[in-house]
Amino acid sequence: MAARFNGNDAISLSRGELLAKKATDKLKGQVVYFVQPVANAASAHFNLQVVRPGAGALGGRAWMQGLNGTGELGENSNAPESSFSPGSYIAAHELGHGDSLPDEYNTLRATRSRRTARTGTPPRSPPRTAG
């Protein structure tokens, strides 16, 4: 997962960047993900359970909840599985939720609103416009 976010795999060829909103601000940085072991669970930011295929809350599919620091990884979550599209990697997508990033699907169902729609790639349904 860290390889996907750090720009070290065949799909993600570069690291994410933090850029200033104004060109006159010279602030720039790279986003780097890493795993750091801790001595006990109370010191951890996240508690991820590793589950066998077919087990866990979603049957072995990776999920993460950034609001409370919980989640699961399947035993086979160590590489892209291409289950949604070529190169798709559910565990890496879920890692973004662990960093408090929301889903950005362009569907009204995702936003639960008739007035706004998020932008991004829809998971399986075609995008709809608000109206």
Quick: pLDDT tens for 71-118: 898 888 888 888 888 888 888 888 888 777 777 765 555 455 544 444
pLDDT of res. 69: 84
Q: How many angstroms separate the CA atoms of 87 and 11, rounded?
A: 7
The strand order across the sheet containing 70-74 reads 47-51, 70-74, 63-65
The parent domain of residue 112 ranges over: 101-131
Q: How many domains does the chain have?
A: 2
Sign (positive/negative) of CA torsion 10, 13, 15, 16?
Answer: negative
pLDDT tens digits, one per residue of 20-43: 888 888 888 888 877 788 898 888
pTM metric for this prediction: 0.61
- Asked if residues 71 and 64 have their Cβ atoms less than 8 Å apart, the reply is yes
Query: Do residues 22 and 77 both lie within one domain?
Result: yes
Same domain for 48 and 66, yes or no, is yes
In a shared domain, residues 91 and 125:
no
- What confidence tens digit (pLDDT) does each residue in 45-71 have? 888 888 998 999 988 888 888 778 888
